[in-house]
Amino acid sequence: MKGLLKAFPLSYIEGIKILFNIPKSLRYLILGSNIFALAFSMFGSYIIIYATSDLGLSKIEWSIILTAEAVLTTLMIIPIGKMMDVYGGKKIILLFNIFVIIALIAIMYGNFYLLLIVMPLLGIASSSSSAAFQKLTADFTKRNIRGKTVGVMRFISLIVSAVGSLLGGYIYENTAHITIFLLSMMISLVGVILFFFLVREPEVEEI
């Protein structure tokens, strides 16, 4: 038991040290993933509130949208995985996060039929970006530290997402409701620009 208690804080120390011993592009990858996580967490939890209270969608209409999102995301994840192998994770991440920016505009001024199209595509974009980040992380990371690196990335992203949700709720409650969508668009745009210029896919992938 003592060994477990001692190992617990040491694992955090080792995790922080890893951040200083990984390729620069992987650090930029972590930065980019958390910028996108911040943007998504700010608006993700409040779309349903905005859709039902501001856009006037009924509960039945929203349930239809969620069902369509779940079905199409499930059907598309394998073809998207094939696209990653062909075009690379970076292009997939850039493509789908640019779509997120466009989707937020549609959500702000949407109706049931528009959201029925946009929300499934947004779900595909979110799950595909997540898979592409995992692929790039594996490509950048040596096998013997891959678990620690993924753990640290997940730890950071959970903190960022929690902060984003809290911040999004505060902004939604205290400003015009579309503010969180506009702010998320700007944050996502910053992430796209930084990701485009700073992240370079490895010429030789780690095995």
Asked if the model's pLDDT at residue 207 lies above 60, the reply is: no
Looking at the domain covering 27-198, what would its CATH class be?
Answer: mainly alpha
pTM: 0.86
Read off the pLDDT of residues 98-119 as tens digits, 9 standing for 90 and up: 999 999 999 999 899 999 999 9
Cα–Cα distances (Å) from 161 to 37, 124, 125, 166, in that order, read: 6, 19, 17, 9
In the predicted structure, residue 79 carries a pLDDT above the cut 80: yes
Specify the range with the lowest mean pLDDT, choosing from 24-28, 70-74, 148-152, 196-200.
148-152
Residue 23 in this model has a pLDDT that exceeds 70: yes
Q: What is the pLDDT of residues 150-171, one digit of tens each?
A: 888 888 889 999 999 999 999 9
Indicate whether 136 pLDDT > 80.
yes
Six token digits for residue 193 = 């620009």
Domain residue extents for the chain: 27-198
Residues 6+ apart with CB under 8 A from 90: 132, 136, 195, 199, 201
Share of the chain above pLDDT 70, in %: 90
Q: Closest Cα to residue 154, out of 179, 133, 169?
A: 133
State residue 178's pLDDT score: 93
Q: What was the pLDDT predicted at 86?
A: 84
* Token pair of 81 as six digits: 């995985």
Tell me the three state secondary structure of residue 57: coil
Amino acid 41: pLDDT? 93
